[in-house]
């Protein structure tokens, strides 16, 4: 089956048509910058523009950067606070006339890696961390997702959230070298390791492509692998959500 997968992020809204049986992208990915301020109506308009770009009429799956239960945003992560309590699936359905399945973006990316990528067939505790505007997390035990685990929002030292110290957006904002940022990110992964004793940590998001630049800073007992689908894991997993809808 083919589904349009959309990954809404703090800086870009990305999409592609995905073969959800194989995890392959059928089209090139298309990216639209997230409107400044990321207000619900504005983001919904860009989601509609993405749907129009693909001239898509079928089901849509969407990863969204917040806690999502039953299609509703229960937090607002790094996007506008007015998302709190919004039925994201209904909003995007109204803007496009299509049926939307929505889940947390990192959970979606993790789903793709557990089904087709480096987590495939892995038993035990596997944790996917997505590195971008924020730090997303997805926790799996024997391949089953524990939804909406928010490791990047845990406070660290003087920081209200760990992601304000170690996300990729912080590296850019503070002009950190990969060595400097890598050691911050290592502190985050050490916290993840201490808390969950995972069997595998998978890194996704834009910065997972650059792992060679900071892997020497990652001093952990747990094996750490970049996502097989790198930044596309979020789109592939998003598309898969449409197949899980009851
Ligand atoms: C949000 C998470 C999200 C992550 C990555 C965080 O700010 O709290 O829900 O998965 O950013 O987008």
Domain 2-107+233-244 has CATH 1.10.10.10: no
Q: What is the pLDDT, as a whole number, of residue 244?
A: 87
Q: Do domains 2-107+233-244 and 121-228 have the same CATH topology?
A: yes
Contacts of 200 (CB under 8 A, 6+ apart): 118, 119, 122, 124, 125, 126, 127, 222, 223, 224, 225
pLDDT value for 133: 94
Neighbours of 137 (CB within 10 A): 27
Listed in sequence order, the residues at least 6 apart from 182 whose beta carbon sits closer than 8 Å to its beta carbon are 213, 214, 215, 216, 217, 218
| CATH node for 121-228 | 3.30.420.40
Classify residue 54 by burial, with Cβ atoms within 10 Å: 0-12, 13-18, 19+.
Answer: middle
The domain ranges of the chain are 2-107+233-244, 121-228
Q: Whose CA is nearest to atom 1 of ligand 1?
A: 77
Radius of gyration of the chain (CA): 17
CA of 135 to the centre of ligand 1 (A): 6
Does this model's pTM top 0.95? My answer is yes
pLDDT, tens digit only, all 246 positions of the chain:
999 999 999 999 999 999 999 999 999 999 999 999 999 999 999 999 999 999 999 999 999 999 999 999 999 888 999 999 999 999 999 999 999 999 999 999 999 999 999 999 999 999 999 999 999 999 999 999 999 999 999 999 999 999 999 999 999 999 999 999 999 999 999 999 999 999 999 999 989 999 999 999 999 999 999 999 988 999 999 999 999 865
- Centre of ligand 1 to C-alpha 171, Å, is 17
Taking the centre of ligand 1 as the mean of its atom positions, its distance from the CA of residue 18, in whole angstroms, is 23
CB atoms near residue 59 (< 10 Å): 19
Q: How far is the CA of 19 from the centre of ligand 1 (A)?
A: 26
Ligand 1: which atom is nearest the Cα of residue 106?
A: 10
Q: Whose CA is nearest to atom 5 of ligand 1?
A: 136
Under 8 Å CB-to-CB from 41, ≥6 apart: which residues?
none
Q: Which residues form the pocket of ligand 1, taking CB atoms under 6 Å from any ligand atom?
A: 65-67, 75, 77-78, 104-106, 130, 132, 134, 136, 150, 152-153, 163
User: How many Cα atoms occupy the beta-carbon half-sphere of 97 within 13 Å?
Assistant: 5
147-178 residue pLDDT tens: 999 999 999 999 999 999 999 999 999 999 99
């Amino acid at each position: 089956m083919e589904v349009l997968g959309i990954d809404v992020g703090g800086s870009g809204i990305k999409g592609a048509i995905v073969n959800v049986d194989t995890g392959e992208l059928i089209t090139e990915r298309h990216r639209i910058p997230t409107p400044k301020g990321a207000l619900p109506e504005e983001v919904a308009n860009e989601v509609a523009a993405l749907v129009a770009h693909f001239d898509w009429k079928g089901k849509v799956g969407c990863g969204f950067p917040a806690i999502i239960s039953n299609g509703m945003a229960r937090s607002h992560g790094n996007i506008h606070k007015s998302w709190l309590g919004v039925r994201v699936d209904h909003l995007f359905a109204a803007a496009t006339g299509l049926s939307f399945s929505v889940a947390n973006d990192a959970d979606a990316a993790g789903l793709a890696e557990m089904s087709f990528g480096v987590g495939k067939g892995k038993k035990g505790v596997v944790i996917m961390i997505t590195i971008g505007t924020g730090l997303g997390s997805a926790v799996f035990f024997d391949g089953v997702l524990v939804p909406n685990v928010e490791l990047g929002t845990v406070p660290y030292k003087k920081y209200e959230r760990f992601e304000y110290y170690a996300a990729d957006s912080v590296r850019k904002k503070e002009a950190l070298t990969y060595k400097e940022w890598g050691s911050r990110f290592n502190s985050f992964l050490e916290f993840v390791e201490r808390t969950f004793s995972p069997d595998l940590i998978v890194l996704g998001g834009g910065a997972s492509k650059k792992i060679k630049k900071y892997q020497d800073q990652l001093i952990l007992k747990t094996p750490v692998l970049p996502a097989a689908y790198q930044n596309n894991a979020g789109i592939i997993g998003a598309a898969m959500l449409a197949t899980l809808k009851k």
